Chain A
Amino acid sequence: MNFDFSDEQKQMRDAARKFLTEKCPPKAVREVLDGKATYDKALWTGLAEMGFLGVAIPEEFGGAGAGHLELCVIAEEMGRALAPVPFASTVYLAAEALLLAGSDAQKQKWLPKIASGEAIGTLALFEGKGNPSPQAIKLSASGGTLNGVKKPVPDGAIADFAIVAARTGSTGRDADISLFLVDLKAGGVEVRSLTNIDPTHGQAELTFKNCKAEPLGAAGDGWSILTQVLDRAAVLVAFEQVGGSDRALEMGRDYALDRIAFGRPIGSFQAVKHILADMYVSATLARSNCYYGAWALSTNASELPEAAAAARISATQAFQHCSKNNIQVHGGMGFTWEFDCHMYYRRANATAVTLGSLSYWEDQLIDRMRKKNAA
């Protein structure tokens, strides 16, 4: 059994951590938090130069051709550093959709641009409140033009292209949904930025008015592709969440060691110790579930749907738990804008609902376990 990342993958993790520690300190995250920039462009270029944007993109499409395990270790570091860049939307959603369903021409057009940092992509799935479901998709596609509204679209205001889920039938089945690729710079799309609890990652509303679009994948395959994309993204976002959980735990631990009250470090009080021990427990459970998700993702195993849901749930819980209790351990200082704790709290609660909320994934997990059991 070798249920661990290889030495090379761990070296890549170290390289990513070193790079992000240098190029993405909390000060850089705050530039975007405070609204001085929509994302960290310099960091984005740097990530491209390091080869991180295209790490899982095959060499023939301009990537590094490494694989998804490598992408997982980078995702963890991105989450740890709260990198304020459209990494998840571009790399986990848009690139994965292209890899899964894109035509050779579509891949040739967009994947090299993703790897080089020239193109930002996203997935336009949601239409207001609610979780992923084919019934909720109303945006219509006919004759290669789209009409409808998508919201929220992650990084929609800065994206160059979007994969759009559209309704192409009305039979009430999954086959009513098809995917389209839209060049957002080509007109026909109105973009409105939306405020959200984590300003370090933008959200937008995209209104499509007779917008020209090309199909991505076969007509009627949309929902099946989306399900696969969401599962893959669930594993990758879970690694970001695990990275964030670990960092929040470390911040809490460090503060508990430094801060003196009643003549002793607050970390010597059991009430504080036990909070931190419980944070460690949730972070460890999440990490182990994520490793299994990484294995399933990298081998395209039939266990992926179940593994992805478990990783997603476990990591969401861990990040919410660790980020809120990091504030608690910090006391009043943890509730100031000046301390970084709230940035993790914001990110944790924002990532808890992207890709669909915890309740949704809980439901999915049991559905999938039940199917496996029946099989």
Chain B
Amino acid sequence: MSAEPVNYDQMIACPQCDGLSTKPLLKEGQKAVCKRCGGKVLERKRDPIRRTLAVALAGLLLLIPATILPLIGVSAVGLFNQASLLDCIAILIANDYYLIAISLTIFTLAVPVIRLLAALYISWCIRMQRITPALVHFFRSYHQLDSWTMLHVFLLGIMVSMYKLVALAELSVGLGLVAFILLLICSTLVSVTLDKHYIWEQLEAGCEY
């Protein structure tokens, strides 16, 4: 290990290639790329806290209609059936497909809900300047959730199913689908507006170990 006197608080490393560089001072809306691999090293987003608060709250409000209201329905020879997200899970459990039921619950319900709640809570705490050590652990767990939200995949699944069903029966679109699309937009916007670097800076400044 080289014993150079480096002030490593002023340094950042690229998460992709581990290249070291000095921490640039960014204005809101700017980002820095690694000179070695070209990947994004640092980004400062505009107005991260207030925007995240707004989007996360909207997402949580949409969550109830998106899960309870029917997404799509079919009718053939006078019979009609429609299903919401909760119905899908219930039917999978009834048919003993527990693994699929669990993955559907986790990826399209639990993870998005926890993610929105976490984004809301953390933004609110930072806005109110109520930073506790517990919040650090809390936000750390948040990072795990990003790659496991699959609302967008489920929406594509709805579209493919609709395409399949058009040939089979008369199709109807439920109000739940509208709420679901809006929820997806909110959930995606949270990852756009939430500035992880900014929040970590605030958390680190806010509590001394």
The answer to whether A and B come from one shared complex is no
Contacts from B to A (Cβ < 8 Å):
none
